[in-house]
Copies of this chain bind each other. A is one copy, B any other.
Amino acid sequence: MSLAAVEVQTAIDQLRVLLGDRLSVSTGVRDHHSRDESWHHPHRPDAVAFPNSTEEVAEIVRICAAHRTPVVAYGTGTSLEGAVIPTHGGVVVDLANMNQVLRVNAEDLDATVQARVTRKQLNEFIREQGLFFPIDPGADASLGGMAATRASGTNAVRYGTMRENVLALTVVMADGRIIRTSRRARKSAAGYDLTRLFVGSEGTLGIITEVTLRLYGLPEAIAAAVCSFGSIKGAVDTVISTIQLGVPVARIELLDDVQMDAVNRFSNLSYPVKDTLFIEFHGTEAGVKEQAELVQSLAADNDGGEFRWATRQEERTALWTARHDVTYANKALRPGCEIWATDVCVPISKLTQCILETKADLKQSFLIAPLVGHVGDGNFHLGFLINRDDPAELAEAERLNERLILRALALDGTCTGEHGIGLGKQKFLVAEHGEAVTVMRQIKQALDPLNILNPGKIFSV
């Protein structure tokens, strides 16, 4: 046994005293925590802890710090970039027991939840009060995990991302200190914005245990529609005009023809196999009507067909379920495959160029990769269908992914709009941020000098 392994074993022994049977070293449990929904290869942790409280998380971190044992926070395991894979072993802290909504304040339109409450769970909880939480990355992810990856998704074009919708966090630091990053006031100029520092830090600066979120009143009126286009340029140009005119669309999603084919097959639908927009409007009755008319006229100017409306709640649910199931739809296109999901985000004026060049690339490749995106933000995804054990396929996905990202960066965009850096985007971090990465590293070094918090993520070390 190496010295490091002895230290990890000592930490595990102490954690067992603290947690009893809420500390597991079983192969099954460790396997379950070895992976996420990405294409990255799994890696088993040495143990998995199931704390019941922020104080227990702090105690776990203190023990791990004393023995230089890695600590990786785990929510629902739905990362698409390997953010929760414990590549350096150590202890996974599964927050499964921390799943209570602690407080809802309808008057202030906010709520505080434990980190493992999922977005759907919160929305169930608050629906009767006429409230909703809009951020929707597709997966029913934990709100702590969504904060840690700065998640966004379909509604971000109107409501912002987790960056705009987290009011405060409770965080356990690398030495076990517990901090609260902010009060409940809507704004503050009191000191550094620690909330935003932890939002998107992917568990590398602290472990988020509680999240205070902004809520919204359920819109008086909602209308959703699907519109097919004669070309992808027409669809994207419609989106660009919509955003430039300031129409407050709630969702505006692009699915290319390849993606629509997969969606039709998987969800047993019969949409035209064309480049398509899924759109949703929120507002007053009059406001929704006004928005819808404007976007319909923009679509008509850009080779768009009729709007197919989903007015009843069940129809809208079916529509958005089909949209959210694209990963499963894509997997079904090639049974047994893995999906290498990647995402970039560019200034909206560059979106048509970025998508057209990307589609041209894909046309010349032997890999299939449906394209889908939150295009109102300039954000889109490719899902490469790969056999991750086939080096030729991996190499081709890597080549296409690299071309996509360098294209986005050349257009003043980012290498990831919402999936995070995790393992898969590390090589592009410096290309994107240059010298600023040295500042990020200084902050990591200052707050986690032993590098025990989710080591090997964001920065390759």
Contacts and interface: CB of A to CB of B under 8 A. Distances in A.
B107 A433 contact: no
A268 B417 CA distance: 52
A347 B180 CA distance: 17
Given A179-B435, A192-B201, A193-B197, A345 B185 contact: yes
A3 interface: no
A446 B345 CA distance: 31
Contact of A187 (B109, B163, B349): B163
Interface string A238-253: 0010011110000000
A433 B194 CA distance: 10
A78 to B, nearest CB: 14
B345 A187 contact: yes
Contact of A189 (B183, B244, B290, B419): B419
A460 to B, nearest CB: 13
Interface in A391-412: 408-409, 412
Given A216-B246, A446-B443, A421 B180 contact: no
A420 B413 CA distance: 32
A59 interface: no
Interface string A154-179: 00100011011000000001000111
Interface string A173-212: 1000111111111111111111011011100010000000
A199 B107 CA distance: 29
A197 B190 contact: no
A300 interface: no
Contacts of A433: 179-182, 190-191
A229 to B, nearest CB: 20
Nearest to A244: B107
Interface residues of A, number: 89
Given A163-B196, A164-B164, A194-B436, A186 B105 contact: no
Given A284-B290, A412-B185, A194 B108 contact: no
A440 B196 CA distance: 13
A105 B435 contact: no
B345 A194 contact: no
Contacts of A178: 435
Given A189-B149, A414-B188, A349 B179 contact: no
B439 A194 contact: yes
A287 B287 CA distance: 7
Interface string A425-442: 100110011111111101
A323 interface: no
A369 B199 CA distance: 39
A256 interface: no
A100 B419 CA distance: 36
A50 to B, nearest CB: 25
A108 to B, nearest CB: 4
Nearest to A248: B248
Interface in A16-47: none
A188 B439 contact: no
B149 A417 contact: no
Contacts of A412: 183-185
A275 interface: no
A446 B458 CA distance: 19
A136 interface: no
Nearest to A447: B442
**CB-based closest 6 A-B pairs:** A196-B196, A446-B446, A188-B414, A107-B349, A179-B436, A185-B345
Given A185-B345, A187-B417, A191-B432, 9 more contacts: A107-B347, A173-B439, A181-B436, A183-B432, A185-B413, A186-B345, A186-B377, A192-B200, A443-B446
7 contacts: A105-B349, A183-B412, A185-B345, A185-B377, A190-B429, A196-B197, A217-B245
